[in-house]
Amino acid sequence: MVKHFVFLLVLFHGVAHAQVRLTLQEAIAKTLQHNFDIGVADIDVQQAARNNTLGNAGFAPNVILSTSTSRSKSNVYNELASGAVQSNPKAGSTNINPALTVNWTIFDGGRMFLIKKQLNEFEALSQVQLKAQIQTMVSRTIQMYAQVVWQRKQLLANSTAIALAKTRMEVSDLKFKTGASAKIDYLQARVDYNARRSDSVRFVANLTNAADSLNVLMGERENTTYIVDDSLSLNKNLKAIDNDRLRDINLSLSAYRTNTEISKLNAKIAKSSFLPTVTFNGGYVYNQTTNATGFALFSRSYGPNGMLSASIPVFGGGNLRRQSDVASLQVMRDQLLYEKQNTVVGRQYRTGWRNYQLAVTAYQIADENIGYAKENLDVQQSRFRLGVGTTLEVRQAENDYVIALSTLYTAAYDLKVNETVVLELENQLVKQ
């Protein structure tokens, strides 16, 4: 059997450029650190946090410091009422005007308070979406890692089949040469041996594809092939939760609830447009003018100024009413979407839980059956060596044992996948 493993490793080396040890926890850590979707969601959280400020909500005033200066030179000729004449072909004029201005909305119908609450909800939504993305990517990583383990196990089962076929082929050849059996037993064993070797190519391809998919999730190079764990821990004792608990902890439903709250705030913001707006405009202005000719050769003024203004929307073509109605309809729409998602998640959980229970049962049966299949194979091989059993009997025992192995590995994979699906829906894969 060791020789056949060497054959498979040589075959696998033809498509693998590098092999490194990788545990499930290391795979999850790589995904959390390098996964592109998680990185994008994390940036969304940072953007929402930076947008969530009092200034962005409209609480803070706009303060502008500005200045201007001008200089001119003119050919001036003035005849004054006193009879005097001013004539200056190069009369200069200079004006300096720095100013500090303030524009502050004092009251806008409560709009700024509602916007601040909405910004809080947007930040909360981005955090929920990040957590959901992390749960999803971790779930996919566990499932893909389990698939890599499963494909390696399938390769192992096929290697076992190769070894069994080779042993039967050698025994049949010896019995044929000694005249104890016909050559057809050897030929059948040889056909089975070559068929199993051909199957190895397909299993290696499946393993390589699974490893590539795992690399994408972890943000790693696609040509890296990992040596994974021989088996994964299986939880056969999960307990189902009720619908109320599921609604509270499921991240998808939490995102839909937050979207509904955002829509409700948006409807209130639209209604606040009907209320008056009070604005303060003021500042501190300095003005200095210097003239070479004229009545005022020098003038200067400075000091504060301010103005309080109020505006009330009277008619705007019905747009304010339209915007308010549309916002109210959006609340109804988002509420319906939440109810729909609640139904979808409930169905997903019921389906996932049933599949998990079936997977536990299937695994327990497969785990029990492997012992019977191995014992049957040992008996049939002994009978065949003694000349009591037939080739057909031992061949059937070999196939049954290989199928039992493959079934056990598949059952373990299915159990891990369904366990992961249930835990993802329960928001239990990653403790935040």
What pLDDT, on the 0 to 100 scale, is given for residue 40? 94
Segment 23-29 mean pLDDT: 93
Compute the distance between CA of residue 207 and CA of residue 153 in angstroms, rounded to an integer.
Answer: 10
The rounded mean pLDDT for the chain is 87
Determine the Cα angle at 79 with ends 77 and 85, to 5°: 75
Whether 18 is covered by a domain: the verdict is yes
The pLDDT score that the predictor gives to residue 427 is 93
In the predicted model, is pLDDT for residue 129 greater than 50? Answer: yes
Whether 294 shows a pLDDT value over 70: the answer reads no
Task: Specify if 239 maps to a domain.
Answer: yes
* Residue 72 pLDDT greater than 90, yes or no: no
Predicted pLDDT at 8: 43
Model pLDDT for residues 329-345, shown as the tens digit of each residue: 999 999 999 999 999 99
- Residue 17, pLDDT > 60, answer no
The pLDDT of residue 222 is: 65
Give domain status of residue 366, yes or no: yes
List residues bridging with 70 in a β-sheet: 95
In a domain, 210, yes or no: yes
Pick the closest to residue 142 from 417, 346, 432, 426 (CA basis).
417
| Predicted model pTM | 0.81
% residues pLDDT > 90 (the chain): 57
pLDDT band of 9, cuts 50, 70, 90: very low
Asked if residue 45 has pLDDT above 80, the reply is: yes
Instruction: Indicate if the pLDDT at residue 429 is higher than 80.
Output: yes
Number of domains in the chain: 1
Element (H, E) at 94: strand 85-96
- At residue 11, does pLDDT exceed 70? no
- Statement: residue 357 has pLDDT above 60: yes
65 in a structural domain: no
Domain assignment present for 82 = no
Q: Say if residue 255 is exposed, middle or buried (CB neighbours under 10 Å; 0-12, 13-18, 19+).
A: buried
The answer as to whether 14 is a domain residue is yes
- Range from 40-54, 247-261, 301-315, 353-367 carrying the lowest mean pLDDT: 301-315
3-class state of residue 235 by DSSP: coil
Q: Considering only residues 99 and 199, tell me which one the structure prediction assigns the higher pLDDT.
A: 99
Name the pLDDT band for 148 (thresholds 50, 70, 90). very high
Give the lowest-confidence range in 10-19, 74-83, 419-428.
10-19
Check which CATH number belongs to the domain holding 29 and give it: 1.20.1600.10
pLDDT recorded at residue 381: 84
Per-residue model confidence (pLDDT) at position 177: 78
Amino acid letter, residue 71: R
Alpha carbon distances (Å) from 142 to 24, 378, 421: 7, 36, 10
Report the candidate in 47, 96, 92 with the shortest Cα–Cα distance to residue 67: 96
Report whether pLDDT(256) > 60: yes
In a domain, 92, yes or no: no
The pLDDT score that the predictor gives to residue 419 is: 97
For the residues 120-126, what does the mean pLDDT come to? 96
Among left, alpha and beta (phi > 0; psi -120 to 50; other), residue 198 is: alpha
- 221 is in which domain, residue-wise? 2-60+107-277+315-425
Q: Quick one: pLDDT band at residue 18, thresholds 50, 70, 90? A: low
